[in-house]
């Protein structure tokens, strides 16, 4: 049986139409005694960008919660999804190992293992061995919800995520950091690249804390120089 390596795929399914306009209107309401119809007439595109920039710079982020995003992710491991769902201000729908009986398994190979041909082959063979044990229990009539205990953390999963823009900023701050686990960091960067064009003023400063200030992991040694990280995110946004 040939073993497939899972590949990360991220797709934006839907988002709040004109998210920056919605955020600007919600924020303006906090500072105005105008009624809503009158207020909405006062906000132009140019004012919108400046106002959102002010909100983000000052950390007044509650209006940003009105912008929502639904994102589909596949090609991540169960290890990664367990980290992802710790972000509780979100909704998740994940492929179930109770109800899905895997016929064509795919596994996520860590880069440090994948860069060596022999190690990668051994890793995939070990994953396949666990999968075969899983299948043998299914063939003996065991329930998938019990047999799944044998599946490795490397097993591919698929998940649909809905988050508001404020929670996404929080995710990017933590998970784009070089101290984050490599797989969830790669996923977070792909999501950021995907959604940045929809609201460039909201996500202008999205990324690890070192993009604008001090490292939030002060007691840890960063594996990369901060100027190099800043340049990477600058290029990411431009592309």
Q: What is the mean pLDDT of residues 165-188?
A: 97
Mean pLDDT across the stretch 116-122?
95
Please check the confidence at residue 118 and state whether its pLDDT lies above 90: yes
Structural domain of residue 66, as residue ranges? 11-74+82-90+157-238
pLDDT of residue 101: 87
Mean pLDDT of 137-152: 96
Q: Who has greater pLDDT, 229 or 32?
A: 229
Rounded-to-integer distance, Cα 88 and Cα 157, Å: 19
pLDDT of residue 37: 72
Q: Is residue 53 part of a domain?
A: yes
Number of domains in the chain: 1
Question: Using CA atoms, how far apart are residues 230 and 227, in angstroms rounded to an integer?
Answer: 5
C-beta separation of 154 from 107 below 8 A: yes
Q: What is the β-pairing status of strands 68-77 and 9-15?
A: antiparallel
Strands in 156-206 per DSSP E: 156-164
For residue 40, being part of any structural domain is answered with: yes
* pLDDT number for residue 93: 98
pLDDT of residue 195: 97
Residue 189 counted as domain residue = yes
Q: What is the domain-level CATH number for residue 49?
A: 3.30.1360.170
DSSP string, 37-58: HHHHHH--HHHHHHHHHHHHHH
Strand arrangement of the beta sheet that strand 156-164 belongs to: 9-15, 68-77, 156-164, 90-94
What is the distance between the alpha carbons of residues 237 and 239, in angstroms, rounded to a whole number?
Answer: 5
Report the alpha-carbon distance of residue 154 to residue 108 in Å, rounded.
5
Q: Is the pLDDT of residue 42 over 70?
A: no
pLDDT confidence tier of residue 166, bands split at 50, 70 and 90: very high
Average pLDDT over the chain reads 91
Q: Is residue 195 part of a domain?
A: yes
29 band by pLDDT with thresholds 50, 70 and 90: confident
- Split at pLDDT 50, 70, 90, the class of 219 is low
9-18, 57-66, 158-167: range with lowest mean pLDDT: 57-66
d(CA 77, CA 149): 15
Is position 127 within any domain?
A: no
CA distances for 66 relative to 15, 20, 22, 77, 201, angstroms: 11, 9, 7, 30, 15
> Which sequence positions are flagged as catalytic?
175
Please give the Cα distance from 239 to 236 (Å, whole number).
5
Residue predicted with more confidence, 57 or 100:
100
What is the token pair recorded at 99? 């109800």
pLDDT band of residue 99 (cuts 50, 70, 90) is very high
Quote the pLDDT of residue 180. Answer: 95
pLDDT at 237: 79
Helix (H/G/I), strand (E/B), else coil: 216: coil
pLDDT band for position 216 (50/70/90)?
Answer: confident
* Strand, coil or helix: 105: coil
Percent of the chain with pLDDT over 90: 72
Asked if 182 and 114 touch (Cβ cutoff 8 Å), the reply is no
Look at residue 179 and tell me if it is in a domain.
yes
> Residues 120-134: pLDDT tens digits?
999 999 999 999 999
Q: Tell me what the mean pLDDT of segment 200-224 comes to.
A: 86
Exposure class string for 78-103: b at 16+ Cβ within 10 A, else e: bbbbebbeebeebeeeebebeeeebe
Instruction: Examine residue 203 and state whether it is found in any structural domain, yes or no.
Output: yes
Say what percent of the chain tops pLDDT 70.
Answer: 95
In a domain, 219, yes or no: yes
Q: What is the pLDDT of residues 52-98, one digit of tens each?
A: 888 888 888 999 999 999 999 999 999 999 999 999 999 999 999 99
- Answer for the pair 202, 52: CB distance below 8 angstroms, yes or no: yes
114-141 burial: b if 16+ Cβ within 10 Å, else e: eeeeeebeebbeebbebbeebbebeeee
């Amino acid at each position: 049986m040939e073993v497939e390596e899972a590949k990360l795929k991220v797709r934006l399914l839907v988002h709040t139409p004109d998210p920056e306009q919605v955020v600007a209107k919600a924020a303006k309401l906090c500072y105005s005694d105008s009624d809503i119809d009158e207020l909405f007439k006062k906000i132009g595109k140019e004012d919108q960008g400046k106002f959102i920039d002010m909100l983000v710079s000052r950390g007044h982020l509650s209006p940003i919660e009105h912008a929502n995003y639904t994102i589909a992710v596949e090609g991540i491991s169960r290890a990664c999804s367990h980290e992802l769902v710790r972000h509780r201000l979100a909704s998740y729908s994940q492929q179930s190992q109770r109800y899905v009986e895997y016929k064509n398994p795919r596994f996520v190979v860590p880069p440090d293992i994948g860069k060596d041909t022999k190690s990668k082959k051994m890793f995939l063979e070990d994953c396949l061995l666990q999968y075969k044990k899983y299948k043998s229990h299914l063939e003996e009539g065991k329930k998938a919800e019990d047999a799944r205990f044998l599946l490795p953390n490397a097993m591919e999963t698929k998940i649909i995520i809905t988050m508001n823009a404020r929670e996404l900023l929080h995710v990017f701050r933590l998970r784009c950091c070089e101290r984050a686990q490599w797989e969830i960091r790669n996923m977070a960067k792909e999501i950021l690249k995907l959604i940045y064009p929809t609201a460039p003023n909201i996500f202008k400063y999205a990324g690890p804390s070192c993009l604008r200030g001090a490292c939030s992991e002060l007691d840890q040694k960063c594996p990369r120089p901060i100027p190099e990280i800043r340049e990477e995110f600058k290029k990411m946004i431009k592309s």
